[in-house]
Amino acid sequence: MVVTGLGATTPLGGDTASTWAAMLAGESGIRAIEEEWAAELPVRIAGRLAAEPAEALDRVQARRMDRCEQIALVAAREAWADAGTPGVDPERLAVVMGTGTGGALTLLGQDDILETRGVRRVSPHTVPMLMANGPAAWVSIDLGARGGAHTPVSACASGAEAIAMGLDLIRLGRADVVGAGGAEACVHPLPLAGFAQAKAHSTRNDEPGRASRPFDADRDGFVIGEGGAVVVLERAGFAAARGARPYAALAGAGVTSDAHHITAAHPDGQVRAMRRAVAQAGLSPRDIDHVQAHATSTPMGDLVEAGSIAEAVGDRPAVTAVKSMTGHLFGAAGALGALAAVLAVRDGVIPATRNLDALDPAVGLDIVAGEPRRGRVAAALANSFGFGGHNASLVFTAT
């Protein structure tokens, strides 16, 4: 299975190239929320998009889409064009788009309208804008995909699980090409207040660019972000027949569940996901050169994952965490992590983890800090874990 196209719109850039360049430069896409509605919130920072997705779409179409759906469509169009618009039978083309909250902004916004202005002012487009399968549906319509449009909703593992499902669809012979990824847009007072009340969100309101600090001894929580990323997956023979040049191979995926706790991760589930991905790729732990960590910057979560990585693949791989720059994109996080892992394999360079001033001594891993690390990356492991005990790990290898 090969990756032939990449698309993204993130807090670091409106496309893949600008996002990747900003990652390598160690920039931050986390900024203060200037809107009046945030003034009284305990959390007033977020990873907002660098480019407005609606500006890249038809005006009427954009008005009928939730921001999450806009993000998905923008990223998917870039990925499809990047892949060279494969000439594939529509019945052999599928879409898998994960999301954690779907059209949350529409749901909350239209509920406000219902309460304050009455039923006649509610948009007739409300339901297709808020439904979680909206991103997958819009992308499938845009690409003409008739081989299935699927929507994994597994919290912060959704995007990675979508890519794993894309791999399965091709391996099972149900598709030749799959557009897979994730999209999320839920920067809103309610999620911000909820995470603040749970003590999960950083409160460094005066230092937005320094707030997300995975593996750092002084981390105090994650930062909410928005964005999306999509990869085009192809059966290797199909890609070769049309002369496509792959970025990397998607060699293996591991998806597990903890069956443990609704918010607290269990290391066993993470270890099993990584081991399954590595084994499915036909590799051993010592073959993994790089780990793109889930690493959200929460005090406990980072330590659980660090221990899981050490148990699953050892302490040799170079580890990094792009959430230090983008914040946590929830349902899109795994897709963006996968995209970064693919580019690390292609370019032989691993972005540094931003804000790692003092490595937590309990981490015990080789965390890339300061400057990007250059050298051959033959195999990269990308992790994504979510509330509810969802775990997804992906292995990408050089072609």
Q: Is 125 a catalytic residue?
A: no
Distance CA 80, CA 59 (A): 21
Active site residue 328: yes
Specify whether the CB–CB gap between 230 and 335 falls below 8 A: yes
Candidates 92, 98, 97; CA nearest to 147 is 92
Q: Has 294 been annotated as catalytic?
A: yes
**End-to-end CA distance of the chain, in Å?**
10
For residue 197, count other CB atoms closer than 10 A to its CB: 11
Q: Checking DSSP bridges between strand 379-386 and strand 390-397, what pairing results, if any?
A: antiparallel
β strands within 23-100, DSSP E: 30-32, 45-47, 93-98
Neighbours of 57 (CB within 10 A): 18
Helix-helix angle 158-171:333-347, to 10 degrees:
70
Show the tokens assigned to 282: 């036909």
How many Å apart are CA 156 and CA 384, to the nearest integer?
7
Q: Which residue is catalytic, options 156, 201, 290, 390?
A: 156
- Locate 98 and state its tokens: 């994960």
CA distances to 158, 162, 381 from 183, in Å: 9, 11, 21
> Which residue of the set 201, 266, 328, 390 is catalytic?
328
Judge contact between 2 and 83, C-beta under 8 A.
no
How many residues make up the chain in this entry? 399
> Which of 314, 295, 298 has its CA nearest to residue 366?
314
What is the identity of the amino acid at 181?
A: G
> For the chain, what is the radius of gyration of the CA atoms?
19
Supply the residues annotated as catalytic.
156, 294, 328
